[in-house]
């Protein structure tokens, strides 16, 4: 059933173009309204939403972090992101104008379920993004958007994550549409961009060999860092989590802008650092990230740079350069995550670890 792949994880990474395409399918007709699955929240209620809180654990939490950027940008509604295990212990301010969005691949994560129960007690509306039909989390929510990634077997989430990110974009666009912040043709334009993403993912898969080679070259590293800005920041966290889970080495993701506030002190000769460079254009994010690469390289880091086609600024500072297709800034996680997943799987495989069933981990965490 591994379809010729050594590990389920590699098979699931390979299925990502269809996971994304299937999650988009059937939800939109040109110029028409987006259709979501079980939406037991009326448009009137949605228009009254004045705060959105996105809650999840692990990799799903990083999808939530991406969601915040899309939701605030497209809907102009304040959005918070919270780890499910922390949410209800901080006495959060919720009422019936609060929309709580939870994200869970399995639909059975206990921390997330407890957050949902708490939110509903406080009269908030709960919408869940979930990959598992009929699981507990969608059953206990007011509304559901199913991701259509297909069953995920490997403990490390891959296609589940990409599908979650797509569902978050769909939700953000849906709210933007209901609130009148975005109209049909704008939404069509954004959806068309998302519709082209599966080709971009396919390209990252086709170029996967460079990640396999890199995994061999970096074998023996006991610590690897990941830097990103904007939506590249959750991608950095996700790249680090994959490596921790599978390779059992120290891996950490940082917001690139935080470097000089502390983390740069750990940079030493030969330390591998992945840097996800945002597309050029907005808020000088690209320029600022390039200068971060210069700073770490001057201190001896071995830089692995993920940058879009045509970005020549990074070339002098990249020990390894991974090219990404040109996509809008907000959508970049859908392509930039892929090489990091391949890298983690290959790195762990070369260490002789069980890539599908890493030590100490379970596929769904049904205890708090
Ligand atoms: O099923 P969920 O999405 O609720 O699971 C959340 C986390 O337990 C999960 O993403 C975990 O971090 C994965 N092992 C990451 O690869």
- Tokens 């043709």 sit at which residue? 185
What's the chain's Rg over C-alpha atoms? Answer: 20
| 116 within 8 A of 106, measured Cβ to Cβ | no
User: Could you tell which of 12, 85, 105 is best to mutate to test the pocket of ligand 1, judged by most ligand atoms within 8 Å of the CB?
Assistant: 105
Supply the pLDDT for residue 33: 67
- What's phi and psi for 297, nearest 5 deg? -70, -35
Supply the pLDDT for residue 35: 75
Residue among 314, 102, 100, 66 nearest 194 (CA): 66
The C-alpha atoms of residue 90 and residue 168 are separated, in whole angstroms, by: 25
| 192 within 8 A of 185, measured Cβ to Cβ | no
Residues 41-45 have a mean pLDDT of 91
pLDDT in tens, 134-145: 999 999 999 999
Contacts of 92 (CB under 8 A, 6+ apart): 53, 82, 122
**58 C-alpha vs ligand 1 centroid, how far in Å?**
5
Residues 34-41 have a mean pLDDT of 78
**Is the distance from the beta carbon of residue 365 to the nearest atom of ligand 1 less than 6 Å?**
yes
pLDDT in tens, 325-346: 999 999 999 999 999 999 999 9
Supply the pLDDT for residue 367: 82
* Catalytic sites, residue numbers: 363
**316 C-alpha vs ligand 1 centroid, how far in Å?**
37
Residue nearest to atom 4 of ligand 1 (CA): 104
**333 C-alpha vs ligand 1 centroid, how far in Å?**
17
**Is the distance from the beta carbon of residue 364 to the nearest atom of ligand 1 less than 6 Å?**
yes
The closest-lying atom of ligand 1 relative to the alpha carbon of residue 132 is 1
- 288 by Cβ neighbours in 10 Å (0-12 / 13-18 / 19+) ranks as middle
**Is the distance from the beta carbon of residue 136 to the nearest atom of ligand 1 less than 6 Å?**
no
The C-alpha atoms of residue 277 and residue 305 are separated, in whole angstroms, by: 7
| 256 within 8 A of 228, measured Cβ to Cβ | yes
Residue nearest to atom 2 of ligand 1 (CA): 104
Torsion of CA 289, 156, 125, 170, to 10 degrees: 60
Q: Which residue has the higher pLDDT, 355 or 35?
A: 355
Supply the pLDDT for residue 31: 63
pLDDT in tens, 146-202: 999 999 999 999 999 999 999 999 999 999 999 988 887 889 899 999 999 999 999
pLDDT of 75 above 70:
yes
Supply the pLDDT for residue 162: 98
Contacts of 45 (CB under 8 A, 6+ apart): 125
Q: How many CB atoms lie within 10 A of CB 195?
A: 15
User: Could you tell which of 58, 141, 354 is best to mutate to test the pocket of ligand 1, judged by most ligand atoms within 8 Å of the CB?
Assistant: 58
pLDDT of 99 above 80:
yes
The C-alpha atoms of residue 23 and residue 341 are separated, in whole angstroms, by: 20
The closest-lying atom of ligand 1 relative to the alpha carbon of residue 364 is 1
3 state SS of 230: coil
3 state SS of 338: helix
Supply the pLDDT for residue 366: 84
Q: What 8-state DSSP symbol labels residue 308?
A: E
What is the percent of the chain where pLDDT is above 90? Answer: 85
The C-alpha atoms of residue 326 and residue 291 are separated, in whole angstroms, by: 21
| 218 within 8 A of 226, measured Cβ to Cβ | no
3 state SS of 254: strand
| 23 within 8 A of 163, measured Cβ to Cβ | yes
Residue among 2, 160, 181 nearest 77 (CA): 181
pLDDT in tens, 201-239: 999 999 999 999 999 999 999 999 999 999 999 999 999
pLDDT in tens, 239-294: 999 999 999 999 999 999 999 998 899 999 999 999 999 999 878 999 999 999 99
The closest-lying atom of ligand 1 relative to the alpha carbon of residue 59 is 10
**197 C-alpha vs ligand 1 centroid, how far in Å?**
23
Q: How many CB atoms lie within 10 A of CB 328?
A: 14
Supply the pLDDT for residue 32: 64
**Is the distance from the beta carbon of residue 111 to the nearest atom of ligand 1 less than 6 Å?**
no
Q: How many CB atoms lie within 10 A of CB 69?
A: 20
Residue nearest to atom 7 of ligand 1 (CA): 58
pLDDT of 121 above 90:
yes
Residue among 73, 146, 145 nearest 330 (CA): 73
pLDDT in tens, 196-210: 999 999 999 999 999
**Is the distance from the beta carbon of residue 223 to the nearest atom of ligand 1 less than 6 Å?**
no
As a residue count, the chain comes to 368
The C-alpha atoms of residue 257 and residue 240 are separated, in whole angstroms, by: 17
Residue nearest to atom 14 of ligand 1 (CA): 156
Supply the pLDDT for residue 129: 97
Average pLDDT across the chain, whole number: 94
The C-alpha atoms of residue 272 and residue 288 are separated, in whole angstroms, by: 20
Residue nearest to atom 9 of ligand 1 (CA): 58
* Helix, strand counts (H, E) of the chain: 13, 11
Residue among 177, 32, 49 nearest 101 (CA): 49
The closest-lying atom of ligand 1 relative to the alpha carbon of residue 164 is 3
Supply the pLDDT for residue 359: 87
- What's phi and psi for 195, nearest 5 deg? -65, -25
């Amino acid at each position: 059933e591994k379809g010729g792949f050594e590990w389920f994880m590699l098979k699931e990474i390979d299925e990502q173009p269809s996971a994304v395409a299937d999650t988009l399918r059937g939800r939109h007709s040109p110029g028409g309204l987006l259709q979501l699955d079980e939406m037991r929240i009326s448009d009137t209620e949605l228009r009254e939403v004045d705060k959105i809180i996105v809650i999840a654990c692990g990799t799903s939490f990083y999808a939530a972090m991406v969601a915040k950027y899309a939701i605030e940008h497209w809907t102009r509604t304040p959005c918070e992101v919270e780890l499910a295990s922390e949410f209800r212990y901080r006495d959060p301010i919720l009422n019936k104008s609060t929309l709580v969005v939870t994200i869970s691949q399995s639909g059975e994560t206990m921390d997330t379920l407890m957050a949902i129960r708490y939110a509903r007690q406080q009269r908030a509306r709960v919408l869940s993004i979930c990959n598992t039909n009929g699981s507990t989390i969608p059953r206990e929510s007011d509304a559901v958007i199913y991701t259509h990634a297909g069953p995920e077997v490997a403990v490390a989430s891959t296609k589940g994550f990409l599908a979650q990110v797509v569902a978050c974009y769909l939700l953000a666009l849906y709210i933007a549409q209901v609130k009148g912040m975005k109209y049909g043709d704008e939404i069509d334009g954004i959806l068309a961009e998302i519709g082209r993403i599966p080709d971009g993912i396919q390209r990252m898969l086709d170029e996967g060999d460079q990640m396999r080679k890199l995994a061999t070259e970096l074998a023996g590293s006991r610590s690897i860092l990941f830097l990103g800005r904007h939506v590249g920041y959750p991608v950095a966290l996700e790249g680090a989590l994959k490596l921790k889970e599978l390779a059992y080495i120290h891996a950490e993701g940082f917001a690139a802008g935080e470097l000089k506030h502390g983390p740069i002190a750990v940079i030493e000769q030969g330390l591998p650092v992945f840097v996800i460079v945002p597309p050029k254009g907005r808020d000088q994010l690209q320029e600022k990230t390039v200068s971060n690469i210069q700073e770490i390289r001057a201190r001896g880091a071995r830089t692995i740079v993920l940058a879009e086609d045509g970005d020549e600024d990074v070339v002098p500072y990249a020990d390894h350069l991974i090219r990404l297709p040109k996509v809008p800034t907000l959508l970049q996680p859908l392509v930039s995550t892929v090489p990091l997943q391949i890298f983690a799987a290959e790195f762990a495989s070369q260490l002789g670890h069980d890539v599908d069933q890493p030590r100490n981990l379970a596929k769904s965490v049904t205890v708090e």
